Amino acid sequence: MSIEAEVITRIENHVGRITLNRPKAIHALNRAMCEAMIEALLAWRDDAAVKSVLIDHAGERGFCAGGDIRMIAESGAGDASEAKAFFMTEYQLNHLMFEYPKPITAVVDGIVMGGGVGISEPAGVRIATERTTYAMPETGIGLFPDVGGGWFLPRLPGQTGVWLALTGARLKAADTVALGVHTHFVASENIEGLKAELLAVPADPKAVADRLADDAGPAPLDAHREAIDRLFAFDTVEDIFAALQADGSDWALKQLDILKTKSPQSLKVSLRQIRTGAKLTAFADNMAMEYALGGRVVRTHDFQEGVRAVIVDKDNAPRWSPAELSAVSDDLVEDLFAPLPEGEAWKPLIG
């Protein structure tokens, strides 16, 4: 019995096509999948026969649920070498896509979280459907919104990126399109027609998407945008907690209750990541920051405990340590963000 490739790459009518093909795992990324995508993208970069790139997925469960969290946790319980090797490759893929000289279209029909965000946000055309569910839920497992989250989230309108990073909120297409997370909405029943048109007009995927896009409908989040911008504008998590408590509205108190379930360490790390990323001028610098951070965070108690509670035992009752925000010291956070020595630091792909 032949084993199907977890990533299928080919050229069709001047379009380089990448199809994620690990449907039972909702296409969760492993290192080999990232390497296969890098190999294809490098081969197509200077190939005049390839006018644009289209990335999609097999099956109907979702685009990509993230990275191979179990492997990362198991590696983090040891010396984290395998986790770091994965992050190095995954972040090189993210950066390659961000800097790619040809148009990339990502069709995110279904779940798109974590690593799936990392391979769709760098695309110039990002298509959502009514089945799309977008989230960066990492604070719930003791991690932080990596794969470029430090770059993309603070560049969303107002403080919505901070709110998404800290709460792990899940958004549907009306909100993601309104925020600019995704550029277009196309009903799932029209996706195959869209792909056919992209193959027919390979050099200008944006024009195709502009022509075929549907109305995503009103954005539910609009009702809370003012509150998000006001209550999540602070530079410490303690001040955000205090602002939510003082506001006292049902919505604000609900956000506070959600935040209290997250890893205090992750909340502080994620806010620092977002505020730092907002000031960076190069995507590569953000990825170097996240790589240094990731190699350390996966070895912490909270990541190991978060994976146990949410993914392994599924009791959804993580015991965070430190358990309180006040116990997460500035020195602890500072140590996690320290740059790596030159020989260990993240580097973009040569060429």
Flag whether 299 is in a domain.
yes
Rounded to whole angstroms, how far apart are CA atoms 170 and 181?
12
User: Looking at residues 51-70, what average pLDDT do you find?
Assistant: 93
DSSP one-letter code for 132: -
pLDDT above 60 for 2: no
Range with the poorest average pLDDT among 9-13, 24-28, 192-196, 281-285: 24-28
294 φ, ψ to 5°? Answer: -60, -40
Percent of the chain with pLDDT over 70: 99
Question: In 10 A of CB 262, how many CB atoms?
Answer: 24
Burial (CB < 10 A; 0-12, 13-18, 19+), residue 75, is buried
Peptide bond into 154 cis (omega under 30): no
**Cβ contacts of 300 within 8 Å, gap of 6 or more:** 142, 265
pLDDT for residue 256: 98
pLDDT band for 351, please (50, 70, 90 cuts): low
The CATH number given to whatever domain includes residue 201 is: 3.90.226.10
pLDDT above 50 for 86: yes
pLDDT above 90 for 39: yes
User: Looking at residues 254-277, what average pLDDT do you find?
Assistant: 98
pLDDT band for 60, please (50, 70, 90 cuts): confident
Element (H, E) at 18: strand 15-20
Rounded to whole angstroms, how far apart are CA atoms 271 and 148?
14
pLDDT above 60 for 1: no
Rounded to whole angstroms, how far apart are CA atoms 83 and 87?
6
Flag whether 54 is in a domain.
yes
Flag whether 350 is in a domain.
no
- Short-list 66, 84, 141, CA closest to 311: 141
Tokens 């084993």 sit on residue? 3
Q: How far is CA 326 from CA 253, 267, 274, 323, in A?
A: 20, 12, 20, 9
User: Looking at residues 215-223, what average pLDDT do you find?
Assistant: 98
Question: In 10 A of CB 317, how many CB atoms?
Answer: 11
Percent of the chain with pLDDT over 90: 96
Flag whether 2 is in a domain.
no
User: Looking at residues 253-266, what average pLDDT do you find?
Assistant: 98
> Would residue 321 be called left, alpha or beta, if left means φ above 0 and alpha means ψ between -120 and 50 degrees?
beta
Average pLDDT, the chain: 96
Peptide bond into 341 cis (omega under 30): no
Flag whether 148 is in a domain.
yes
Burial (CB < 10 A; 0-12, 13-18, 19+), residue 284, is middle
At residue 186, what is the residue type?
V
Instruction: Identify the domain containing residue 138 by its residue range.
Output: 7-344
Flag whether 310 is in a domain.
yes
pTM: 0.96
DSSP one-letter code for 171: B
Flag whether 1 is in a domain.
no
pLDDT above 80 for 43: yes
Q: How does pLDDT run across 282-323, given as a tens digit for each residue?
A: 999 999 999 999 999 999 999 999 999 999 999 999 999 999
pLDDT for residue 4: 82
Flag whether 351 is in a domain.
no
Which of the residues are catalytic?
67, 115, 138, 146
The DSSP-derived string for 228-268 is HHHHT--SSHHHHHHHHHHH--HHHHHHHHHHTTS-HHHHH
pLDDT for residue 61: 84
Q: Report the number of distinct structural domains present in the chain.
A: 1
Rounded to whole angstroms, how far apart are CA atoms 322 and 267?
12
Rounded to whole angstroms, how far apart are CA atoms 176 and 128?
8
Tokens 């492993």 sit on residue? 30
